[in-house]
Structure 1
């Protein structure tokens, strides 16, 4: 039981840190969309996407190996050997990857994007190298279960990079160069802090390096890289195809619409995803499979109770939200939102629906399904972007997410099935649809008033309908109120 409590406590620490990360995205979104032109914002998204890919490859999956094998090396008093090997292993490979991406940078961005970005050619490899090294050192903190230190580091790095990047862009270097110069400076500072911390706790020497230890780390971690790359391809490959087919300006619109939808759904998905696993594993171990099935059934029902109206509501207030957060110059991004937010919501369902694969240790199937979905996504983008522009890219994303969710749900339910409360799911969808019809055409002439009115009226209508239609939910609310009354009376 001590281990379970420890797991839940540490999960809450990571959850708190992730909430700060999501807040950084929401705070910076309206600032970045205003200080950059639509074209610059599109290129900004493309550079970030390329960084995601490059750093994922450069790490070789070694951070995952560090978390997995740390206790084994600690038990035999070989921490110095373990730390030295993994850190220098990532450093050597990341330097090679950085050089490769630096060379390809000049070709790709000069040919397909913007010649003026050649000034970033030295910054990009530096960011890849520093990013991979920092992620490796952060994994040592995770392995040592220093969750608070981990959260402090990732939070300072995130906010510091955004803050300094915006400052340099506004007051010293116009455009993307200033932003990424600020990001590089903060990343280097964080890397230096982590190195000092590591040197104080463990000796790192070149003589401690072990090819055998590195080989074991890569053999475990590298397959995980494919799963990470699959996720990145599924979510971001359309950026490159949009750039090639229809240019940076349309890419900026698409990136703004996509990021806005993602920030919203992430706020719902990640808290549940981080908190859910330790809870259902505790139920599985202590109460058995039947109780675990009941838990999943109820969890999916209440998850749908939240995510369904969010999708309908987001589509209804989408134009107002774009004007408020990104400004009217991004209003052409609105047609992308319904497809992206619906796809993200469907994709979010897999965090519950695929749990059977984790319980039965069949996670290798995730890689196969992801690989097939990525291939489908690329094919659909190649077909739909020339035909429908950025809407075609959003349509490709939605179709891919639907296929991924259906296949994964089928495979997972074969391993560990649980019933879905279809009647209640239909009630929530109907209530959300009625809410959408009631608020979609509200227009007072003021964007902020429209937005607030739609949110307030929509939430009221949806709550009223689901309480009227869902008897079980109604009884649950009544019982909670009675418990509150009894507690108040006891206090008196």
Structure 2
């Protein structure tokens, strides 16, 4: 990887563009699927998607982490063959063996008991090894810094999946099975591309099989597999417990609608930040130490805090209107779920940056323990709050468990790496938030029509005062934005002249 900032900025731009375009596909599919599928069918879709995420996390056997850690940068052809054989193909063979064993157990169990499974289950089972293979190839692409290829394939695959899922629902049947059939077809197409790339670039050699290298891979990757599984469980446990405690897929559907849209906020606010921040933090920590990491955090936290709080206020006050605008009044029950979880996903990256550093200190067991804590808190609160508060109980549990683990990371990270937003940023954002909430109060008094009207008018009444107060009180923000605005103005002027 290039040590210069331009290379990092280029990769950030590509990954952020890819995430934005993938998010746009989600914003297109969300209103269409929620209108075409009733709550029960949408709940089935979300339920099995949860189990696929868990299955893929387990079936990768930690290979993706080992690929990132042990990729032989600058290695000769023989070293590359050894890498491909021991860290890509052999773990993939192990994953296929595990998948075949599980599939055989399911088939035998069904034959003995007479219990069948839905078509969605079988499609999810078939899809799992293909998703594992595609994920490992994409990991190789990322670690070799082929961000252009990652961007193009990620975006093309997501939009193809959207087209095939909607096409199947419209042409065949308004059911989760039809939607999943379209998704399965998209996965087949995507895997075929990745298979062709791997065949050209990753070569298996029986003579290069090395048990020691394979053991090293598993020893490094498997603890991180546990963390990844728990991360998926943290996202998934709400849907599973809603289904088990209520016995109603419609309830899962109501939750899934709000949570799915909130996940788009997570993708844009969280994933894009950490795809660029984590490599930079690792490099700075290695070359310049903890103080340089804190300086990097200070630079990021000012604009991050302003953006996160502003987005959180908008989602908290107008989230239901966005649900109505995208999916219709019939999905309004999902609005409060989205308001809470969307606002949480907007603010969470700030807390994660503040407490980032445990992985720099190689305290991966502490990271695993914190993830265990989050899942345990989430499950315990779901057990009590879902019967008491219904769908919102699951949302409250997610909020509290995420806050507990994030704050715990801030407390447990070494003081030399801990960094919170400075006093000026916090003071400024409090005044800006007050102005935004006053704009929200005015929006309520206007008695606007729910949906697009209240969202657009309210967005202006909330967003404009918030931004104006920030610009008025913080000269650092003005200094940051002014050159960019001047550059845009100059380009517009050059375009007009041309």
TM-score tier after normalising by the smaller chain length = 0.7 to 0.9
Task: Tell me if the contact between 2:269 and 2:346 (Cα under 8 Å) persists in the aligned partners.
Answer: no
Corresponding residue number in structure 1 for 2:479: 476
Q: Given the superposition, is the C-alpha separation of residues 74 and 30 from structure 1 closer, same or farther in structure 2, using an over 3 Å criterion?
A: same
Contact kept in structure 2, 1:60 and 1:225, CA below 8 Å: yes
Match of 1:145 in 2: 145
> Does structure 1 residue 451 correspond to structure 2 residue 452?
no
Separation of aligned partners in 1, 2:232 and 2:414: 26
User: TM-score, length-normalised on structure 2?
Assistant: 0.86
What corresponds to 1:311 in structure 2? Answer: 312
Equivalent pair of 2:320/2:339 in contact (CA under 8 Å)? no
Q: Distance in 2 between matches of 1:138 and 1:257?
A: 29
The structural deviation recorded for 1:147 is 2.6
1:310 CA drift (Å): 1.3
Question: Following TM superposition, by how much is the alpha carbon of 1:431 offset from its aligned partner in structure 2, in angstroms?
Answer: 2.4
| Aligned with residue 466 of structure 1, among 463, 470, 475 | 470
Is contact 2:370–2:408 with CA below 8 Å preserved after alignment? yes
Residues 95 and 430 of structure 1, relative CA distance in 2, 3 Å threshold: farther
Are residues 216 and 347 of structure 1, via their aligned partners in 2, closer, same or farther at CA, if it must alter by over 3 Å? same
Within 2, Cα distance between the matches of 1:280 and 1:315? 31
Once the two structures are superposed, the pairs formed by residues 421-440 of structure 1 within 5 Å of their partners are 421-439=422-440, 440=443
Q: Is the 8 A contact 2:354 2:419 kept in 1?
A: no
1:487 shift after superposition:
8.3
What are the Cα deviations for residues 280-300 of structure 1, in whole angstroms up to 9, with x where unaligned?
Answer: 556656766545434423422
Q: Deviations over 1:294-343 (max 9, x none)?
A: 44234223211111121111121122111111211111112323432343
CA distance in 2, matches of 1:13, 1:486: 24
Contact 1:98–1:128 (8 Å) recurs in 2 = no
- The aligned residue for residue 300 of structure 2 is 299
Report deviation, 1:130: 1.1
**Which ranges of structure 2 fall in alignment gaps of 5 or more residues?**
none
Aligned length: 484
Matches within 5 A, 1:191-340: 191-204=191-204, 209-246=209-246, 247-280=248-281, 289-290=290-291, 292-340=293-341
Equivalent positions of 1:10-25 (< 5 A) are 10-25=11-26
> 1:61, CA displacement in angstroms?
0.9
Specify which of 92, 96, 99 is matched with residue 97 of structure 1: 99
Which ranges in structure 1 are unaligned for 5 or more consecutive residues?
Answer: none
1:182-234 Cα offsets, whole Å, 9 max, x none, are 22222222222322333334543667654443322222211111111121122
Matched, 1:155 2:158: no
State the partner residue of 2:135: 135
How far, CA to CA, are the matches of 2:370 and 2:291 in structure 1?
27
Which is further off, 366-375 or 137-146?
A: 137-146
The secondary structure found in structure 1 opposite 2:78 is: coil
Cα separation, 2, equivalents of 1:26 and 1:479: 31
Offset of residue 238 of structure 1? 0.9
Equivalent-residue separation in structure 1 for 2:16 and 2:310 (angstroms): 24
